Amino acid sequence: MTTNQPMGESDLALARATGFSECAIALRRALSTTPVGWLLAAWFCRDHVPMQSIALWLGSAAAIWAGSLWVLQRMIGAGSTLAMHGVRLRWIAALDGFAWGLLTWFLIGYDPALDAILMALLCGVTSINAQVYGTFVVAYYGQIGMQWAVSVSGLLLLAGTPSALDYAAGLSVFIALTAYYTRAISQRLLEGIRLQHANASLAAQLRAALQKVELDAATDALTGHWNRRALDDVLKQQVAQFASSGRPFSILMLDIDFFKHINDEFGHMVGDDVLRAFAQALRSFLRSNDVCARFGGEEFVVVLPETSLATAMEVGERIRTGIAQAPLLNKPRVQATVSIGVATMTEGQGIKDLFAAADAAVYLAKNEGRNQVRSQMLLAA
């Protein structure tokens, strides 16, 4: 998805849903500062407008404000969504416009200079709210539409001053122009939200692709077990832990007996099926933290963390018995056995030494008739 593409229906719906949630939070923040605007208006009017008129306006606005803020807080707490709360937010916006529009009913007409200040205050409220409702512009239209209707009716019906018509005309032009430009701003904001979602989606796809590449690079394609590269990393970690804690770890080297005969008799495709079946069966005999890797051809290596030689021998015997008891494939029926060499990390050994011991133990198991488990200790004896 490129940044030049227009928004599709799904993109637009997602952007609008996100924009609605952002608008609800922005509106709560704006309403929390609304009393500052009231106090400013009351300060301007204190020596020019009867206190009763100021009190009536403040009381009406405060009642609307408190109810709106309560509903808005519940919406956000419930996880404001466009489908469930879109109408409520429009009502909150309209009531906010109604409260500000009442200013002309109660405070205009007492002093020409004050009237100009109050009209400038209304224009400022209109401008500030354009930012609040930028991501849900339909609510903004309701807010300024209600503010315009109530303000103009107050100017024309109650003000009775020569400037009332001029104020009404000026406010109408200002609100109309603000609504016109806000629409374009809102579209750009929604496009920005859409791009944020698109970039987040692309980033997630990239992370998934990189993880897959890393997994593919460390996984044997045939069996799904780790490959030599991953095995080397695991062994390095085990050696480091052994050096720091002294806790031993063991490895099993497994070689499927007479695997060449299986390939010669049934073909390499069946041979691959046998390797996959063997790998799956092998996993079933191991703990969740044991690591199994295909070492090459029909050879596998199992790393047993924090496992002594005696325990590793028991694990190897369990694997040997389990493989020998049941056929790896039923069609065609393929029965196989496995020779296993066991080695445990000791002081002064390196990874090459460990592998050499396990490999020699496998060689001993095969020489003694296969389908056996042998260890470095038995080899040394």
Active site amino acids: 298
What tokens does 224 get? Answer: 């799904």
What tokens does 140 get? Answer: 């903004």
> 94 and 146 in contact (C-beta within 8 Å)?
yes
Cα separation, 258 vs 265, in Å, equals 11
Q: Among the residues of 219-326, which ranges form H helices?
A: 228-245, 259-266, 268-284, 309-325
Residue with tokens 């790998």: 279
> 155 and 164 in contact (C-beta within 8 Å)?
yes
Cα separation, 193 vs 196, in Å, equals 5
Cα separation, 138 vs 11, in Å, equals 18
What tokens does 8 get? Answer: 């599709």
Three-state DSSP class for 28? Answer: helix
What tokens does 19 get? Answer: 């924009």
Tell me if the bond preceding 6 is cis, omega within 30° of 0: no
> 48 and 110 in contact (C-beta within 8 Å)?
yes
Residue with tokens 């009867």: 50
What tokens does 296 get? Answer: 């090459």
Torsions phi, psi for 250 (to 5 deg): -125, 160
Q: Give the H/E segment covering residue 300.
A: strand 299-304
The strand order across the sheet containing 291-296 reads: 291-296, 299-304, 250-256, 338-344, 373-375
Cα separation, 365 vs 375, in Å, equals 9
What tokens does 105 get? Answer: 């009913």
